[in-house]
């Protein structure tokens, strides 16, 4: 199984500030439109190709959802797609 770790908001903020990770938000479009973390990429089936094309595969990917359940499932998928690490 591919490796991922759960991190808290402060750790995520630090990684974004240091540019050592990118944040993807996998929530539905309505929830994303109502509010999202500045700098987060809204990752959907339609935007996946652009995300894969435009991002460095050596940069860690932090996956954000509603409560952490969906992101735990998406992190290993992103790792198996060639992305360095799901957080």
List the chain domain ranges. Answer: 9-80
d(CA 70, CA 10): 20
* Arithmetic mean of pLDDT, 52-70: 78
Q: Where are the alpha helices (DSSP H) in 18-87?
A: 29-34, 48-54, 69-80
DSSP 39: T
Active site residue 6: no
DSSP 23: E
| Architecture label for domain 9-80 | 3-Layer(aba) Sandwich (3.40)
pLDDT of residue 24: 93
Active-site entry in 7, 12, 65, 81: 65
Contact 74, 80 (CB under 8 A): no
Name which residue leads in pLDDT, 75 or 10.
10
Query: What is the value of pTM for the model shown?
Result: 0.72
Name which residue leads in pLDDT, 83 or 58.
58
């Amino acid at each position: 199984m591919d490796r991922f770790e759960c991190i808290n908001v402060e750790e995520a903020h630090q990684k974004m500030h240091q540019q050592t990770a990118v944040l993807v938000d996998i929530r539905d479009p309505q929830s994303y439109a109502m509010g999202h973390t500045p700098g987060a990429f809204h990752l959907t089936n339609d935007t996946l190709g652009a995300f894969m094309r435009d991002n460095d595969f050596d940069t860690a990917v932090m996956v954000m959802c509603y409560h952490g359940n969906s992101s735990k499932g998406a992190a290993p998928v992103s790792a198996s797609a060639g992305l360095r690490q799901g957080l």
